[in-house]
Amino acid sequence: MTLRTIGKLALIATLAVPLALTAQNGQYHITNRYKLGGDGSWDYLAFDTVGHRIFIARDNRVMVVDPSNGKLIGEIKGLNRAHGIAFAYRAGHGFVTSGEDSTVYMFDLKTLRVLGKTVAAVDDDAILYDDASNRIFTMNGDAGSSSVIDPVTGKLITNIPLDGKPEFGVSGGNGKVYANIEDKSQIVEIDTRTMKVVRRWPLAPCQAPSGLAIDRAHMRLFSGCHSKVMAISDTKRGAVVGTVPIGSGVDANKFDPGTGLAFSSNGDGTITVAHETKPGTFAVLQTIRTMPAARTMTFDPKTHKLYTVTAEFGPSPAHVAGAPRRRAPVLPGSFVLIEMSR
């Protein structure tokens, strides 16, 4: 499935050659499954490019794993519904959101020791580091805001109103941060100098965007939408330039600048791999079969390996009329890290 051509722009033309070559270099396949076990739900993954570690949010803790062998290196404990992880390498600190108590924990990247915590806002979820401003930004769903945190002290600087429920956010590296607004199906652009929203644009036909990735070289955004499309935006135009189909239940998107591939991890047990077939025209290169509920992911920019996590589930509890539906229970010890290579 392709998108309409958006013009003969020089930047797009330069991108087309490496992406076209990518399609000839083989497809992803599962190369390892590492049984991690442990109790609790899970959320975002983050790849530490300096320490070469994978950080996995697990409800009341963060698991830190060696991707070369799947061994647990350590844990960051004491969290209350852990969500996202971000790294501020200049400060030597990492940050993780604790959504149930609206806090952000700061930890030492070498020792993993918790150094402190600060209250952000209700339902702090995704988190990112912006290198241009040297600031940490959280996306607070129920509060409809973004909290800005000093990466050295770990203290709150301000809360930025976003006029909607943010999901994932990314840094453009140019003094701008971008975020999906789930309940309004929009992108907002935050100026990291003034710490204000300066632009927003609709993502139609995308509905309920969740995951978000960025191609900094060409300033494109890839929004994973619960209407089962990946919406591609041109940040210079402030507009969607097309879509590709993805699986259902998306919760994370990634873009690999080394290969030019965009990824969507979907709760239906698939990862959609998209690329640009010719200037301004995108298509699905591959659908990787993973496991149900493997809805978040990360990747290693050096090896281009993908990683996702999930678990096995028991039978769904019988539904009682008038009561909320309960999720199927996770089978003890079944939590697994899945590695994919080309």
Residue 119 has pLDDT above 70, yes or no: yes
CA–CA separation, 83 and 204 (whole Å) = 27
- Determine the average pLDDT of the residues in 317-332: 80
pLDDT of 333 higher than 80: yes
15 has pLDDT over 60: no
User: What digits encode the pLDDT tens for the residues 222-279?
Assistant: 999 999 999 999 999 999 998 999 999 999 999 999 999 999 999 999 999 999 887 7
Distance between CA 250 and CA 304 in Å, rounded? Answer: 21
pLDDT of 22 over the 70 cut:
no
CA gap 213, 231 in Å, rounded: 11
The predicted pLDDT at position 329 comes to 83
pLDDT for 5: 32
CA neighbor of 103 nearest in space, from 130, 77, 122, 128? 122
Tokens (6 digits) for 191: 């100026």
Please list, in sequence order, all residues whose beta carbon lies within 8 angstroms of the beta carbon of residue 166, skipping any fewer than 6 positions away.
Answer: 125, 126, 139, 140, 141, 144, 145, 146, 179, 180, 181, 182, 188
Domains in the chain: ranges and CATH: 40-202 (2.130.10.10)
**Within the chain, what is the greatest distance between any pair of CA atoms?**
59
- The CA-CA-CA angle for residues 159, 164, 167, to 5°, reads 80
Buried b (16+ CB within 10 A) or exposed e, 125-148: bbbbbbeebebbbbbbbebbbbbb
Find residue 63's DSSP bridge partners: 56, 75
d(Cα 232, Cα 200) in Å, to the nearest integer?
15
pLDDT band at 318 (very low <50, low <70, confident <90, very high): confident
Find out whether 304 and 342 touch, Cβ atoms under 8 Å.
yes
**Residue 29: enclosing H or E segment and its boundaries?**
strand 29-35
**Percent over 70 (pLDDT), the chain:** 92
Cβ-in-10-Å burial (0-12, 13-18, 19+) of 181 comes to buried
Q: Judge whether residue 8 has pLDDT over 50.
A: no
Does 31 have pLDDT greater than 60?
A: yes
User: Which residues have CB under 8 Å from 253's CB, separation 6+?
Assistant: 168, 211, 212, 213, 222, 223, 224, 230, 262, 263, 264, 265
Query: What is the pLDDT of the chain when averaged over all its residues?
Result: 91
For residue 324, the model assigns a pLDDT of: 78
Cβ-proximal residues to 60 (8 Å cutoff; 6+ apart), any chain:
40, 77, 78, 79, 80, 81, 82
